[in-house]
Structure 1
C-alpha cells in the first residue's frame, strides 16, 4: 500500500488530490445528474469484477421505524432495549383485517394482565404503565418483521487467505497472540460483508455494490467505518472491495446530496467528518496496474471531481458553515430523539452537548451532535475536527481540470482556513487544538485526541505538531495507547477509551511530522493491546480501555460495546504493516 506524507507533499499531489479537494459550480441537490451531467455509478465506475445492481431511491425519514406510531410506542414502552432493532423493522404484508385482529387480541391480553396486576394490589396507574411493554411487544411482533434482503456477500473478494509472516523485529509482540489475532481479522472480513437488496421496505438505503458493516448492532455501512476499514482492505490486497464501498459513497452524494452517517434513512439528516477526499486518494493511489490510467483519469474528472464538489459546496459550505468565524460544524437537520438510539442512551445529555436544532444549529450552533464521536461530555461545537478535514478539500483544485483560476481561488481559501483554525481553535498556552464553542464564542475546556487530525492532513505547523505530540505523551498516552480525551466523563468518546480512528490519525500524523519514535511507540502499544485483548476474549471491540488494556467497562449510560469490529480490525492490520510485518498466502 502506498504511503503519502500529509505534511510535505500536498503541493505535489497529482490528479487524485486535485479531484479530492475541489469545488465546482453548485448543482441541483435533488437531481445532481441533471445539473452537471455526472455519469452515474452504472455508467462509470472503476470496480472491475462486480456489476453494480440498480437500486431504488428512497426519501429521508420514511421508514416504519421513523413514521409508524406502533414503533414509537415500542420505544416509549421499551419493547426492546435497543431501539435500533425497532427502527430497522419492516411491515409484514398483512391485510387490514389481519392487522385489526392482531391488535384486538393484544388489547384483550393487555386488559387481562392489567386486571391481574390490580387484583394483586398494584397501583392502577403503575399497572397501566407496566402492561404497555408486553402489549407493544405483542403488537410489534405481529405487525412487523426483521428486515429481509440484506444478506451476506458471498463473493471471493474477501475470503480468508493470508497469514502473518515473521518480521525482522518483533517490537515486543507475542507472535503467537499476534498471529491468532490476525487470523481472526482475516476471517472477519467475510463475516462483515453484506449485499443490500435493490429496494427496501425498512430503513435500509440500498447500495449498488456490496459493503462491510461495522459489526454488532451496526448492520449497515457507515461513512467513517468504510474509510478506515478500506485502509485495512487495501493493506491485505482487497482493493476492489475498498473501491466498491467508495463507489457506494459517491452514489450517496449523487442521489441524496450528502454521505449519510450510515446507510439508513434516519441517517440522511446528518453526515460524518468528510474523509471522502482521503478515501478517493487511497483508492486512486493503490489502483492495480490492470486498470488503465485513462479509465482512472476519466473517473476522476467526470465523476469524482463534480461529486466531491457537490459535497463540499452544497452540503459542508452551505448547510454546515458558520460565516462569522469561517468554521464548519456538525449538526443533525432534525431536532428530535434519535430513533436508532439505545434505551440506555441519555438523549437529554446529548441535547446539552452535541444535539442540534433545525437548520444546522443556527439557534444553538454549539450544541451540535457530531458523528462519529457519538456520546461525549462536551458542550461546544466540533469546528476543529471537521474544519481540519475540510481544509484540504480545495487545495490544488483547478489543475485537474486545467483551470488555474479555480486553483488560485482555492489556494487562497485554504490559507484562510488555516488562519481561522489558528485563530479560533489553537490554544497557544497548552499547545493543542481545541474545539470552539460557536454559541458562546469560546474554546472548549476538554482536549481530545481528535486534535491529531490537524497533523493527519498536514495542517499543523512543525511547532504546533511538536507541542501536540508532547501533550499527548504527557496526558493521553497510556499502557494500551491513547486516551480519547482528558476528561473522565464515562462517555464513550472520552476518557480511557481508545479508538482506532484516533490512533491511526495520531500515529500517521506523528510519522508525517518526523516524530518517528513516538509514532512507533504508540503503534506498538496499540497493536499489543489489541492482540492481548483478543487472546483473552476472542474478540475485537469497537473501542478498548487503554489503561487496563481490556474491553471497556460497561454501564447503563449507553449501548453496550460492540464486537466485530471493522475499523478496529483495519487498524490492527495497518499497525502491523507500520511495524514492518508482512502478510502471505
Structure 2
C-alpha cells in the first residue's frame, strides 16, 4: 500500500499535531494523540498510530523533501517496518554515507567545519614531507577565500603545537590520483561535532563498514591510518592541529587483519601496511622513557603544554579554582593567563600531563585515570599491544613464509613476535591480575602496586586472548555481574566511584555510562573463550537498548547511554553526540552503528525475533 502525500503540507500537519515539544521529532515525550490519518492511493483512510510509526512517517517525508519534489510516494511497509531491520538498513544505506568525508576540492569545506571553535580563517595544515599535497591544497585557496593552507615544519615540537592554538585547523590526510584526477582518500567520522577522523573510533567504524560491504571505505580508513603514521609520526587522537602531540589506542593491526579476512587484498597491500604497523609499534610505543616503562609494559604518555585546547571554558574549574587564589586571581582570569602561558605552574603542568595522557587513552574522562594516567601500565594499552604482537606474528606466518623483510637491514620471523607477546602476557598476569578479586587492574609502576579501580577494561584480556581458561571463567562468573546492567556493561562498577565527591565532575567513562567499544570487545572476548550463552545475553542487552531508544526517540542513535535509566539522556561532561537533528538522523553515531551491525551478525535467530518485538532483556535472562 502506498500513500501519495503533499510533502510540505503533510509535514506541517503532522508536526502541528504530534510534535508537542517543538523539537522537530516525534518521540515518547510528545503528548499528541499519536494517531494521524492518511489516504491510500484509492482514497481509503488509514490511521498511522503510535510513536514509532509516526516518527517513521516523519523521517520518510524528510527524506522525500530532499528530492525537491512537491509530492512523495511513501509505502506502508516503510512506516511499519520491523524496527531491527529498519535500523540496520538505515545504517547501511544512509548513515555511513552521511558520515563519509574527503579532504579535497569537493569535500574540504565540510571537513573544515569545527563546532568546537570559531575561526574567521579556516586553516589546513599539510605535513612537511608531502609536497604534492601542499601544492594541491594551495591551489584550492583561490576558490575558498577563507581557506589558508600552511605547511608544517619537519620537526613538530610541543611548543610549536601550542603556538597553533591561535590558529587551529584540520590536518591533511591521504590523497589519491586516478585517471589524472586527484581526490581525497575517503574516511568516516564519528558524527555530530566530531567532524574529523578519530583514532580508535575508526577501528570500530571500520568493523561496521566491512560488515556492510563498504570495502572501499574500509580500505580508505587503513590508508589514512598509514598516512598519519608516515607523516605525523602516529595515529592521531584526531586530525586537528591541537591533537598533534597525542595518539590513540593502537588498533591498526586489528584493522589490517579484519580487512584481510573480509576483502583478500593483494600481498603488496599487506606488506605496506605491516611495515607501517611495525614502524608505529617501534617508534610510538617501544621507545624507553616515553610510552615504554621500566616494567617492560606500556603506558599512555601524551606530550603537549598547558590545557588541552579542545575542552570548553570552565571544564577544568574544579582544578583551576584550587590554583587561582595562589596568584590572587579569579578562576577565569587564572585560566586565561595559564592558557597564554603568562603564568607557569609546574604542579599544574604535571596534572595536565596526566590529563592529556588520559585523553590519549580514549577514556576521556574517567576517575580511574584522572591525575595519575601517565604513571599507570594500563590493562587496556598492554592488551592492545599484545594483540599487535600476535597479529604481526600471524601475518608473517601466513603471508610471508615466516620471514618478513622490514627494511634492507632487518627482517623478522614470527617467533620474534611470539616471544615478545609471551613476555608481555607473563608480565601482565604478574602485575595486573588480581586473583583474589578476579580482576585485571592497572599497575602503578611509580608506586609499584596495583591501582584498584573496577573498570570495564578488565575484560580486554579476554578480547586479546591473554587469559587462561580459568582466569576467563573467573572474569565471566565473578566479575561480569558487577558490571552488567539492563542494557549492557557500564564503564565501571558503582563501588569504584563511591568515594568520589558529589561536587566532582561526572566522568562519562565511568558508571553508569555504557559505550559501544566496551560491549564489542567484551562480546569478542566471551566468544574467544566459548562463553556462548553469556555472549548472546550481553549482545541482546545492548541491541535491545539501541532498538528501544531508536523506536521511542525518532531513530536516535547516540554516542553513549546512561545504563542506570536505559536512556540516551546523559547528564555528564560533554553531553551526548548524535542526538541533535531535525526530522531524521542521517548519521547515527559511528561506533554505535558498528556495534549494532556487528551484534546482529552474532545474535541467534530466536533472539532476533525477541529483539524485533522489543522483549525486555530482564524477562529473558
Q: 1:551 pairs with 563, 568, 571, which one?
A: 568
> Is 1:518 aligned to residue 534 of structure 2?
yes
Question: How far apart, CA to CA, are the structure 2 residues paired with 1:491 and 1:325?
Answer: 29
Tell me, yes or no, if the aligned pair for 1:366 and 1:440 is still in contact at 8 Å: no
CA positional deviation for 1:473: 3.3
Question: How far apart, CA to CA, are the structure 1 residues paired with 2:321 and 2:246?
Answer: 15
3-state DSSP of counterpart to 1:443? strand
CA positional deviation for 1:234: 0.9
3-state DSSP of counterpart to 1:389? helix
CA positional deviation for 1:553: 2.8
1:123-176 C-alpha deviation (Å, 9 max, x unpaired)? xxxxxxxxxxxxxxxxxxxxxxxxxxxxxxxxxxxxxxxxxx9xxxxxxxx983
1:52-81 C-alpha deviation (Å, 9 max, x unpaired)? xxxxxxxxxxxxxxxxxxxxxxxxxxxxxx
Structure 1 residues 545-554 or 418-427, which shifts more? 545-554
Q: 1:216 pairs with 165, 179, 192, which one?
A: 192
> Is 1:176 aligned to residue 82 of structure 2?
yes
Residues 427 and 287 from structure 1, CA distance in 2 versus in 1: closer, same or farther, beyond 3 angstroms?
same
Tell me, yes or no, if the aligned pair for 1:351 and 1:367 is still in contact at 8 Å: no
Structure 1 outlier segments of 4+, above 6 Å = 360-367
1:92-491 correspondence runs (5 A): 176-186=82-92, 187-197=94-104, 199=137, 201=148, 203-208=169-174, 209-287=185-263, 296-301=266-271, 303-318=272-287, 320-346=290-316, 368-369=357-358, 370-379=360-369, 380=372, 381=376, 383-395=378-390, 396=393, 399=397, 400=400, 402=403, 406-486=413-493, 487-488=496-497, 490-491=506-507
Residues 457 and 332 from structure 1, CA distance in 2 versus in 1: closer, same or farther, beyond 3 angstroms?
same
1:229-269 C-alpha deviation (Å, 9 max, x unpaired)? 11111111111111111110011111111111111121121
1:412-466 C-alpha deviation (Å, 9 max, x unpaired)? 2211101110111111111111112233222122111122221112111111111
Question: How far apart, CA to CA, are the structure 1 residues paired with 2:382 and 2:477?
Answer: 23
Question: How far apart, CA to CA, are the structure 2 residues paired with 1:522 and 1:496?
Answer: 16
Q: Which residue of 2 aligns with 1:6?
A: none
Tell me, yes or no, if the aligned pair for 2:293 and 2:299 is still in contact at 8 Å: no
Residues 366 and 553 from structure 1, CA distance in 2 versus in 1: closer, same or farther, beyond 3 angstroms?
closer
Tell me, yes or no, if the aligned pair for 2:439 and 2:479 is still in contact at 8 Å: no
Tell me, yes or no, if the aligned pair for 1:364 and 1:439 is still in contact at 8 Å: no
3-state DSSP of counterpart to 2:101? strand
Query: Greater relative contact order (Cα 8 A, min sep 6): structure 1 or 2?
Result: 1
3-state DSSP of counterpart to 1:328? coil
Residues 365 and 440 from structure 1, CA distance in 2 versus in 1: closer, same or farther, beyond 3 angstroms?
farther
Residues 349 and 452 from structure 1, CA distance in 2 versus in 1: closer, same or farther, beyond 3 angstroms?
farther
Residues 531 and 281 from structure 1, CA distance in 2 versus in 1: closer, same or farther, beyond 3 angstroms?
same
Question: How far apart, CA to CA, are the structure 2 residues paired with 1:351 and 1:506?
Answer: 39
Q: Which residue of 2 aligns with 1:571?
A: 595
Question: How far apart, CA to CA, are the structure 1 residues paired with 2:485 and 2:215?
Answer: 34
Question: How far apart, CA to CA, are the structure 1 residues paired with 2:103 and 2:209?
Answer: 20
Question: How far apart, CA to CA, are the structure 1 residues paired with 2:91 and 2:321?
Answer: 37
3-state DSSP of counterpart to 2:388? coil
CA positional deviation for 1:347: 7.1
Residues 372 and 237 from structure 1, CA distance in 2 versus in 1: closer, same or farther, beyond 3 angstroms?
same
Residues 559 and 385 from structure 1, CA distance in 2 versus in 1: closer, same or farther, beyond 3 angstroms?
same
Residues 366 and 189 from structure 1, CA distance in 2 versus in 1: closer, same or farther, beyond 3 angstroms?
closer
3-state DSSP of counterpart to 2:203? helix
Tell me, yes or no, if the aligned pair for 2:291 and 2:301 is still in contact at 8 Å: no
Question: How far apart, CA to CA, are the structure 1 residues paired with 2:321 and 2:252?
Answer: 28
Q: Which residue of 2 aligns with 1:125?
A: none
1:463-488 C-alpha deviation (Å, 9 max, x unpaired)? 11111112343200011111110134
Question: How far apart, CA to CA, are the structure 2 residues paired with 1:536 and 1:341?
Answer: 31
CA positional deviation for 1:402: 1.8
Tell me, yes or no, if the aligned pair for 2:190 and 2:589 is still in contact at 8 Å: yes
1:294-331 C-alpha deviation (Å, 9 max, x unpaired)? xx211222x11221111000110016434421111112
3-state DSSP of counterpart to 1:204? strand
Q: What is the number of equivalent residue pairs in this alignment?
A: 396
Residues 546 and 362 from structure 1, CA distance in 2 versus in 1: closer, same or farther, beyond 3 angstroms?
closer
> Is 1:536 aligned to residue 552 of structure 2?
yes
Question: How far apart, CA to CA, are the structure 1 residues paired with 2:198 and 2:553?
Answer: 25
Residues 235 and 405 from structure 1, CA distance in 2 versus in 1: closer, same or farther, beyond 3 angstroms?
closer
Residues 364 and 342 from structure 1, CA distance in 2 versus in 1: closer, same or farther, beyond 3 angstroms?
closer
Question: How far apart, CA to CA, are the structure 2 residues paired with 1:503 and 1:298?
Answer: 34
3-state DSSP of counterpart to 2:364? coil
Q: Greater strand share, 1 or 2?
A: 2
Question: How far apart, CA to CA, are the structure 1 residues paired with 2:86 and 2:412?
Answer: 54
Question: How far apart, CA to CA, are the structure 2 residues paired with 1:320 and 1:484?
Answer: 27
TM-score (norm: length of structure 1): 0.63
CA positional deviation for 1:350: 11
CA positional deviation for 1:195: 1.1
Q: Which residue of 2 aligns with 1:23?
A: none
CA positional deviation for 1:183: 3.7
Tell me, yes or no, if the aligned pair for 1:206 and 1:263 is still in contact at 8 Å: yes
3-state DSSP of counterpart to 1:392? helix
